[in-house]
Amino acid sequence: MAASDQPIVIKKVVKGGGGGHHGGAWKVAYADFVTAMMAFFLLMWLINTTTPEQKRGIADYFAPASVSPSNSGSGAPLAGTSPGDDGVQGSGDSSQRQRLAPTAPQLNDRDRQQTPEGSPEAVESVTEITASAMAEAQQRRDAAELHSASMSLRQAMQEMPELAELSNHVLIDETPEGLRIQLIDQEGRPMFDPGATRPNERAVTLLRAVARIAERLPNRLSVAGHTDSAPAAPGADYTNWELSADRANAARSVLQRAGISDDRIYEVRGKAGSEPLYPDDPYMPGNRRISVVLLREAPVLPNGHEL
C-alpha cells in the first residue's frame, strides 16, 4: 500500500468539568454566608447585653431629634431654599427654626418688680453682697491664722525644754470667741502661790511663750482669771472676785512686758468660780487658771455699712 493511502486518525480530547465541583465560586458564597451569620449573632449578643438606656442612646444617635421632619424649598427633600418672614435667603421652614430656637426665660410679676440695674437700690444691694463676701473671706483667713497660732504654740512647747515640762499646765482650744489658751493649776504645781496675785516663775514662763505667739497676729486679747469655789480668805472682804480680777490683771502686765501693745488688750476680767473647768468638782485645783483668748476679729467695713 502506498504511503498516501494510509488512513488518518483524529483524536479529540474532552476535558472534564473538575469532577462536578463547579470551580471555586462556592467558596465566595460560603464566606459571605458565614460573615452574615457572624454579624447576625454578634448583633443578637449586643442587643441582649445592652441596657435600655444604651439602646435608647443608640436609637437617638441614628435618629437625632434635631432633624427637622418638614420639607424645605419646593416641598421635596434637599430641594433648595424657601422665602420666609426673615428674608428670601433663609433656608428651611421659618416656623420650624422658631420652634427649635431657645426661648427667653419668662419673668414673673415678682421679677418685674425688682429694681432696675444702676438704681441706688441696686448699687446698695451689690455693696451689701460685696461686704458679705469680704466678711466671709476675712473669717476664713482669721480661722486659718488662729489655727496656725495654735500649732505654733504646741510646737514651741515641744521644742523648748523649759516649756516641755509645763505642757500639762496648758490647754488650747478654739471657741466661738477665738483661740483660747488656758494656764491651769496642777496638784502641787500652782500658777499662783496661795492667796497671791503675782504669778510665779512657772506662770511667767508660759505667759511669755503665749506673748511670743500672740504678737505675730493682729487679734486683740481677752484675759480672764478663774478660781475654785474655796473662799479666798474666810471672813474677809477680799473675795474670789477681787482675787481672780487681780490675777488676770497681773497676767496682762506680764503679756505687755513681753511685747503685747496696750491697744491689743481688749478686756481683763475676773470670773471667780463662776465658770469651773471641772463642774463636778468645783474645789479641784484645775479650776484655778488664767485664760487668754485671741479674739476673732470682724473685718473693718466702710462707714455706714453694717454686717
Burial of 276 (0-12, 13-18, 19+ CB in 10 A): buried
Residue 110 maps to a domain: no
Number of domains in the chain: 1
Grid coordinates standing for 306?
Answer: 453694717
Whole-angstrom distance between the N-terminal and C-terminal Cα of the chain?
Answer: 145
Cell 511663750 belongs to: 209
pTM of the full structure: 0.51
Residue 89 maps to a domain: no
Residues spanned by the domain of 279: 133-295
CATH code of residue 272: 3.30.1330.60
CA 72 to chain centre: 52
Grid coordinates standing for 57?
Answer: 442612646
Grid coordinates standing for 237?
Answer: 472682804
Residue 32 maps to a domain: no
CA 154 to chain centre: 27
Residue 186 maps to a domain: yes
DSSP string of the chain? --GGGSPP---------TTTT-TTHHHHHHHHHHHHHHHHHHHHHHHHHS-HHHHHHHHHHHS-TTS--S--TTSSTT-----BTTBTT--S-HHHHHHHSPPPPPP-HHHHTSPPTTSHHHHHHHHHHHHHHHHHHHHHHHHHHHHHHHHHHHHHHHH-HHHHTTGGGEEEEE-SSEEEEEEE-BTTB-SB-TT--SB-HHHHHHHHHHHHHHTTS---EEEEEE--SS-SSTT-S--HHHHHHHHHHHHHHHHHHTT--GGGEEEEEEEETSS-SSTT-TTSGGG-EEEEEEEPPPPP--TT---
- Strand 289-295's sheet: what is its strand order? 170-174, 178-184, 289-295, 221-226, 265-272
Q: What are the pLDDT digits (tens) for 128-162?
A: 667 677 667 666 776 777 777 777 767 766 666 66
* φ/ψ of residue 288, rounded to 5: -85, 115
Any residues with CB less than 8 A from the CB of 199 and at least 6 apart, and which? Answer: 191, 192, 207, 247, 250, 251, 254, 290
pLDDT at residue number 244 = 94
Residue 45 maps to a domain: no
Residue 58 maps to a domain: no
Residue 272 maps to a domain: yes
Residue 239 maps to a domain: yes
Provide the percentage of residues in the chain whose pLDDT is more than 90. 28
pLDDT at residue number 302 = 44
Low-confidence ranges of the chain (pLDDT < 50): 66-82, 86-93, 95-97, 100, 104, 112, 299-303, 305-307
